Structure 1
């Protein structure tokens, strides 16, 4: 079979599995969930379909690693199929996560004059708008917003511009999906400069990743918006536009604060590779000044003093979740107080991050 035929076969099978995944997600969602053995079998089938999806992903990447997709129709199809998967999932509704509903609730708060950083979003549950969100699957459990003011502005703009909740859901997921595809473009451009031989495979690793497709196009998580600015920042560093890179990083952080995590590596890279360090410092200062102006402009309308960061502080506290830090935190709470466990896990994760930055910096 030709490479083109293999891509068509993998793409067709993947598309079928994404359709099956969506149906199964709907069956698992609390508003539609079956009970007892029916739910058990549905979850088991969902896991099986997900495993098959990743196997197909691995087959596609294997083709790319062997150079079978470097040119022609096979390459074009390999880049086009995941775009189609993203577009198809936009026609559905999020079922695995309540985040999109919470974004819309934040936007509704802003549209009626309630500051999302001062009023817990679960207050919306007592309003007709909140009851409609709950009917669609929202679970009102969150407090004040932990997100940055750029994202809060988008939430508000979407709710003001759309006539109903389904239209708002589509608007949010479309914005997120476009940002996710923008991330793929940034990866393509970055690798074109940093590692041309890996340009196609690196881009396909992201584009075909089932996690990225489902979490962004399917569930509408705003991480893609932040990631786009982070990757744009990297791209600008490679183009020696350090000042504008700082601005892009600030935009990422004004969506979600973890957007600043690449800054240490970028600074080390610039310091070691830039020939004129005085010029570098000047560009960084100009970029920082522009970033500060943007931050003031977007933060000022929602500023309520240091209480503006209450949601961020609450969100940063460790909790028992299905994640590595969550599992470690759960284990620590068996022998330590919650406060001590939180301090230990925070210290551990900070140490790991600093160590990773130090190790990566040595390779620059």
Structure 2
């Protein structure tokens, strides 16, 4: 007897003919927003340089001076506190945060303007504006002599270890060698915390840059900017492949490209997180061909291995995407079970088919991981290899987390040590407790994602489950920085349109994180009245996303039918007229 299976809903088709025949949409309003956002980018450069300026840009000083001249007129010191040095830093910090707030307002207005435009109009001019600001704004940050993070020097140190000294960053330290980068690398005394694919990139960059500092800054920033532009392109491709309207595609591009956090961190920070997201999105795009096929069709290894390889490479850049790959295996296995059920297989046969796909994919991923790690593991025993995964600072230190904030509160309040309140707070600073919370949170969200994918094995459900997992991880992790939020933005963009309260809540929470994560910078520089990251300061970054999720999840938005002025007047007259008795 033929078994009943879950039918995949037909995706809406994009009216491509409309795009070709309809004249380009009027985009003067988006153009004004684009110019305003570019102006915000130029205005923030001088405050950031005064706040955390570096001296490595002397070789291109004339060009940098022209770039900074657009905002050099901003006040240096507003005399907010008595300490002159602290007051100047406070002024730069508040100016940069104020410009960031203005940029987010322009970002929101731009989204609102696009949301009001026709669904399948010609958005080519609007998309050109999006590309222009993503490129120009990113280049402004690339050549800005300010650094909110020294990660590029950490990458440079790993690359020098491999390229210049033929050592493995998983077991050796840069401090063991007389390298000039020891002066700038914050983690020169720690082993590598990234995957081997990223180390290969670091090695190639170091072979080009040598011992010079400026090339490292520019190369890694340009690499992050190039990856960011690729991500915008991939978001557009994925949404088009899903059959979304031209408006939704354009909105997804703008959500990713014009987000102030993405603009700043990708151009200024040069982090490898952007490259990790590129391979995540590339894997999603390669899977889209199978997503559009009927659930009853049996997939072969060549259908899903390209996507799995890209997702595995993202893990080999940064381990943070590993839980997402596990969820993808759930999607793959459930997809195989439904195909087997359609062919009349019983539960045992369905599990066998799913196990075969998971085994083939798992072996391919394991082989790729071993192939990439092996050159860095040669000459080291199993005990050393296992130890290398727990030796990076992120395995035993705490940064910008609840644990660190509470720990610093204990350090300041040692005078009440032994009291009930002190002991209560101390119980929440134990490393083991937070490790358990991290594992439990990931395990819980993997279980929820498994259940969700079991009932609806689609890419959209996988992306939403991944957003939920990473968002919960942001709350309980012991190690977080602002650029970590970039992990979920690409996933949130491909979930458009936000149909349903839970998807709306997850996507809204993702973008709420990009706003409130800026509070970390208020406490990073230890400037009054903000001071250091301590006590309940974690509520500034974590409480707003939680509130956003709860409101969007449980608040039912009612769509009100627009009423014209004439209709409103007629309704008011009818309401005031006395009712007559029926004859």
Does TM-score exceed 0.5, indicating one fold?
yes
The TM-score normalised by the length of structure 2 is 0.55
Q: Equivalent residue of 2:240, what SS?
A: helix
Counterpart of 1:158 in structure 2 is 205
1:116 aligns with 2:169: yes
Which of 138, 143, 150 is equivalent to 1:91?
Answer: 143
**In 2: Cα distance, 1:295 partner to 1:353 partner:** 25
Query: What's 1:173 paired with?
Result: 221
Moved more, 3-12 or 49-58: 3-12
User: Partners in 2 of 1:349 and 1:315 — Cα distance?
Assistant: 21
Residue in structure 2 matched with residue 24 of structure 1 by the alignment: 47
Summarize deviations over 1:183-215 as a string: whole Å, max 9, x none. 222221222233513322122211111111211
Distance 2:109 2:323 in 1: 32
Instruction: Say if 1:354 and 1:211 are closer, same or farther in 2 by CA, change over 3 A.
Output: same
Counterpart selection for 2:235 from 187, 192, 210? 187
Task: Give 1:51 deviation, angstroms.
Answer: 0.5
Map 1:313-328 to 2 at 5 A.
Answer: 313=390, 314-317=392-395, 319-323=397-401
TM-score by length of 1: 0.85
Distance in 2 between the 1:326 and 1:70 partners? 50
Greater mean deviation of Cα atoms: 261-270 or 185-194: 261-270
2-structure distance, mates of 1:72, 1:188? 12
- Structure 2 CA distance for aligned equivalents of residues 13 and 187 of structure 1: 24
1:342 pairs with one of 412, 431, 434? 434
Which has more helix, going by share of residues? 1
Aligned to 1:307: 384
Gap change, CA 1:165 and 1:279, over 3 Å in 2: farther
Greater Cα shift, 41-50 or 64-73: 64-73
**Unpaired stretches in structure 2, ≥5 consecutive residues:** 1-24, 56-75, 77-83, 291-302, 341-351, 410-423, 458-583
Corresponding residue for residue 128 of structure 2: 76
Q: For 1:203, which of 229, 253, 275 is the aligned residue?
A: 253
1:86-118 deviation digits (Å, cap 9, x = unpaired): 233222345100111110111111122232111
98, 102, 105: which one aligns with 1:52: 102
Q: CA separation of 1:325/1:171 partners in 2, compared to 1, >3 Å: closer, same or farther?
A: same
Q: Mind listing any 5+ residue stretches in structure 1 that lack a counterpart?
A: none
Comparing 39-48 with 264-273, which one deviates more in the overlay?
264-273
How many correspondences in the alignment?
Answer: 357
Alignment of 1:40 with 2:40, yes or no, is no
Q: Assess, with a 3 A threshold, how the Cα gap between structure 1 residues 105 and 309 changes in structure 2: closer, same or farther.
A: farther
| CA pair 338-123 structure 1, distance change in 2 beyond 3 A | farther
- Worse-superposed segment, 170-179 or 304-313: 304-313
Contact 2:104 2:260 in 1 (8 A): yes
- The match for 1:293 among 354, 357, 367 is 367
For 1:28 and 1:144, the matched residues in 2 are separated by: 29
Residues 287-310 of structure 1: per-residue CA shift (max 9 Å, x gap): 444433332332111113453454
Q: Residue 70 of structure 1: CA displacement?
A: 4.8
Task: Give the C-alpha shift of residue 75 in structure 1.
Answer: 3.3
Who wins on radius of gyration, i.e. which is larger?
2
Q: Does the Cα contact within 8 Å between 2:40 and 2:103 map onto a contact in 1?
A: yes
1:205/1:328 Cα in 2 relative to 1: closer, same or farther (>3 Å)?
farther
RMSD of equivalent CA atoms: 3.1
